[in-house]
Chain A
Amino acid sequence: MTMHATNAATDSGTASGAGARLRLDPTRCSGHGLCAELLGEHVALDEWGYPIIADRAIPAQLLADARRAVTDCPALALRLDIAAREGAARL
């Protein structure tokens, strides 16, 4: 029950990007807002400029933008979980 689905990139669904999720470390984020610029389809900003990330998998056509958002985040607060299963990160 403590196992993680970390290396499940070979799942049949990954061709369509199914399961790729954008994760935010809210303690690192300082609201630069770049992620919302780069990935507006998936990231909105709250009234104070901090990201609200859609609670769904990243569609395949947005994966490249999502990777860019992760690498360009000035606070290094974003991470892309490939094919992380729902609830796998939590016991």
Chain B
Amino acid sequence: MATQPSDTSVYQGSDFRRLLPYPDRSLSLEQHRALYGPASYRGAPQVLIDEVRAAGLTGRGGAGFPTYRKLEAVLRAAGGAVVVANGAEGEPASCKDRTLLYSDPHLVLDGLQLAAEAVGARQAYAYIHPDQRVLRRVREAVAERVRAGVDRVPVTVVEAAPRFIAGQETAVVHRIEGGLALPRYAPLRVSERGIGGAATLVQNVETLAHLALIADYGAGWFRAAGTSDEPGTLLATVHRPNATPRVIETAPGAPLGELLGLDAATAAAGGGSAPRAVLIGGYHGTWLPADRATALPLTNAALRAEGASLGAGVLAALPADCCGLRETARVVSYLAAESAGQCGPCLNGLPRIAHALRVLAGPGVHARERADVSRWAGQIERRGACHHPDGSIRLVRSALTVFEEELWRHGQGMCVASNDRAFLPLPSPMNPPRTDEDWR
């Protein structure tokens, strides 16, 4: 596939209404059909995969993997195939998947049917966040479709476990099989051997919604937003100081500073009330200094050059009166508690790192804790069955770099925080897993 140079980028504006034309409503099947028409089946497997490849769609669940390659892997695998719409959204700072599922479950379910056709699957699952409002809406939507007889493949709705890592692919497979939502160490990908041994396509719900629209309007239409290397739109959850978190539909190439309400000049001047740091990608993501982030376009290419990536589209501007070390210590304590406890490095490393961060979040010079964190981070890297330890230390390392000045300030007995208010959202009440039941 010929790649166009990135200067031919076509990013246009930052306000798109492809996936959420009526974000405040929940569309019935009839209303959805009036807007988009019926799902655009291709009549045979493979056909839509070529269109998805031409569109350049990548996964919107965090990893950003080219969707057509996953589809092809599942299509090529011997035996039956299964497709899963992954709406687990275990990330507490993200609510874009739930927003989409509530607003137009039928767009996701159309995408699930089309993906099933593309890979020749006879069974489909919707694995949905335990938010009862969303879960109920998805169940209703599936029932509406059964009554209308529009689906070709039966869909089973499965409630996701309320855990950070519940959406990890092997955990999804495990849970749908009736087990616990625990990641597994598997030499084979779930696209080769997943649910009941069948090749399994686990695709984020937003990705499936894009896929449905690509089937309707084609690759060229999809590419009319975004950049030539990172086409299409994306949903992001945006956290700004003194504002309710908001789900927006934007496109790669959008100015990050604008999305986060950062004024380039203020950020550079480090003015009193301007955010000094932003969190990109979520709790497995990366802190960046606000003045660097402000100038960046919202593309993985630009973010990777800064050591960050879009992840599942969480963008947060830390209020100037919030302490980044304290926020990171809170989040990492949560991440440590959310470990499945299956792998030694995660079980032993994350709680110790979290404890050291809580010490660093307090007053005083703590050279030993700081050295401990760096050493432990190096020790646990790439040694888990899932990405949880790696993602967590990614956040930790970026915090120690970006909040270096704050570490110094704590050494002097000072802190930027002028109140006890926490900024980054965590589940309330905190309900760390203790028994097997907590993983169902």
Contact = CB atoms under 8 A, between A and B. Distances in A.
A48 B192 contact: no
Contacts of A2: 73, 76-77, 189, 191-192
A50 B342 CA distance: 12
Interface string B301-344: 00000000000000000000000000000000000000000111
A23 B188 CA distance: 13
B187 A89 contact: yes
Given A2-B192, A48-B348, A26 B69 contact: no
Chain A CB within 10 A, most for which of B191, B343, B344: B344
B185 A27 contact: yes
Contacts, number: 60
In this complex, the interface size class of chain B, counting residues with CB under 8 Å from chain A, is 20 to 34
Nearest to B375: A47
B417 to A, nearest CB: 32
Chain A CB within 10 A, most for which of B73, B188, B189, B383: B383
Nearest to A23: B187
Contact of B344 (A4, A23, A50, A90): A50
B139 interface: no
Nearest to B346: A26
Interface in B71-115: 72-73, 76-77
Given A46-B344, A52-B379, A1 B73 contact: yes
Nearest to A44: B379
Given A2-B191, A50-B348, A52-B383, A27 B342 contact: yes
Chain B CB within 10 A, most for which of A1, A27, A30, A90: A27
B189 A90 contact: yes
Nearest to B74: A2
A86 interface: no
Nearest to A49: B344
B344 A91 contact: no
SS class, residues of chain A in contact with chain B: loop
A52 B348 CA distance: 14
B153 to A, nearest CB: 22
Contacts of B383: 26, 50, 52
Contacts of A23: 187
A1 B76 CA distance: 9
B343 A27 contact: yes
Interface string A16-56: 00000001011111110000000000000011111010000
Interface in A51-91: 52, 89-91
Given A2-B77, A89-B187, A26 B345 contact: yes
B384 interface: yes
Contacts of A1: 69, 72-73, 76
18 contacts: A1-B72, A1-B73, A2-B73, A2-B77, A2-B192, A25-B385, A26-B342, A27-B185, A27-B385, A46-B348, A47-B379, A48-B345, A48-B348, A49-B344, A90-B189, A91-B69, A91-B189, A91-B191
Given A2-B73, A27-B343, 4 more contacts: A4-B188, A27-B342, A46-B379, A89-B187
Closest 7 CB pairs of A and B: A50-B344, A26-B343, A48-B348, A27-B342, A25-B185, A27-B185, A27-B385
